[in-house]
């Protein structure tokens, strides 16, 4: 997560300078996931009445825990938005969700969900798919861990474990694995958000 964290810090320095929205980890993940989903459309689909519906739009749900349970507001057309707009939208949706001030349009139309238990100190978990979607990505806290570097050196690096849950009736394991591989590459190179 070293490059990811550095990119977020750079965005937030610019945001402060321009009096813009700060960029959260979740906002960056929404942007990067939406970019990777363009190349992996089979993960951006739904199973409705025994029919597989491939979605053209990439609408990323963000699971938000409330006292009364879970709610999933949706960033619509995330694949067509820049990081600043996604940051503003995710902040607004999460704030209104916690204030119980969402409307029905805010929680409809999700095609892929991201859920984050990082604020609870969770380092890995398997998320439950949000029907009728086919996939959900579990985001957790970033931890500093000892890693072996190329050439045999050892150092500590920030790591985050992401877990993808996929409905095997729609998404084959190999297809899901390719998505995760491409997502890892994108997280390692967040500068791709600018292209």
- 67, 168, 169, 174: the active-site residue: 168
Whether the upstream peptide bond of residue 132 has omega within 30° of 0, thus cis, is yes
Phi, psi angles (nearest 5°) of residue 151 = 90, -5
User: From CA 180, how far away is CA 174, in angstroms rounded?
Assistant: 10
Task: Name residue, tokens 């969700």.
Answer: 97
Task: Name residue, tokens 């965005």.
Answer: 11
CB-based contacts of 76: which residues, under 8 Å, 6+ apart? 57, 59, 109
Of 168, 142, 137, 162, the closest CA to residue 37 belongs to 137
CB-based contacts of 189: which residues, under 8 Å, 6+ apart? 3
Q: List residues bridging with 51 in a β-sheet.
A: 48
User: From CA 150, how far away is CA 195, in angstroms rounded?
Assistant: 28
55 has catalytic annotation: no
Active site residues: 168
């Amino acid at each position: 997560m070293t490059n990811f964290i550095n990119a977020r810090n750079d965005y937030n320095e610019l945001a402060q300078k321009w009096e813009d929205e700060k960029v959260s980890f979740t906002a960056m993940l929404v942007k990067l996931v939406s970019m990777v989903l363009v190349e992996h459309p089979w993960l951006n689909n739904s199973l409705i009445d025994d029919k597989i519906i491939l979605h053209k739009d990439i609408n990323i749900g963000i699971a938000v825990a409330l006292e009364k349970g879970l709610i999933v507001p949706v960033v619509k057309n995330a694949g067509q938005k820049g990081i600043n707009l996604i940051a503003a939208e995710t902040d607004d949706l999460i704030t209104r969700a916690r204030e119980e001030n969402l409307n029905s349009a805010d929680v409809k139309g999700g095609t892929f969900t991201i859920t984050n238990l990082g604020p609870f100190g969770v380092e890995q978990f398997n998320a439950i798919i949000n029907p009728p979607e086919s996939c959900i990505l579990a985001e957790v806290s970033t931890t500093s861990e000892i890693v072996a570097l190329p050439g045999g050196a050892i150092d500590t690096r920030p790591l985050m474990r992401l877990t993808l849950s996929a409905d095997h009736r729609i998404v084959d394991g190999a297809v899901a694995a390719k998505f995760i591989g491409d997502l890892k590459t994108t997280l390692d190179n967040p500068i791709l958000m600018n292209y």
